[in-house]
Amino acid sequence: MNCILEKKGVDITDKIALLLVIIGALNWLLVGLFQFDLVATIFGGQQSLLSRIVYSLVGIAGIWCIKMLFSDSLSSNLVSHPAMKPMESNDDDKKDQ
């Protein structure tokens, strides 16, 4: 499976980093809207070692994802995906009309 991802220009590290960034964003959403820190609740408070590890991993993932802003590989794969291309009309279809 890793070979398939590499051919498309997205490696597993990018996907993991993006997942961690999304988790961090959702946690911040909860903090902003409800003053509820899910990471701290799950891992025993903001000062616990596990919470600090999760916060650090999310921060490192955010730094890793900066390169995605300047990378054309993700956007070019989305544009060149066959499902994204418009259907081509057939000359036979034009004759029928």
* pTM (global) more than 0.75: no
- The pLDDT of residue 5 is 46
Is residue 84's pLDDT more than 60? Answer: no
Domain ranges of the chain: 2-86
Grade residue 72 by pLDDT with cuts at 50, 70 and 90. Answer: confident
For residue 37, give the nearest of 62, 21, 55, 19 by alpha carbon: 55
- The pLDDT of residue 94 is 57
Using a 10 angstrom Cβ sphere, with 0-12 exposed, 13-18 middle and 19 or more buried, the burial of residue 38 is middle
- The pLDDT of residue 93 is 58
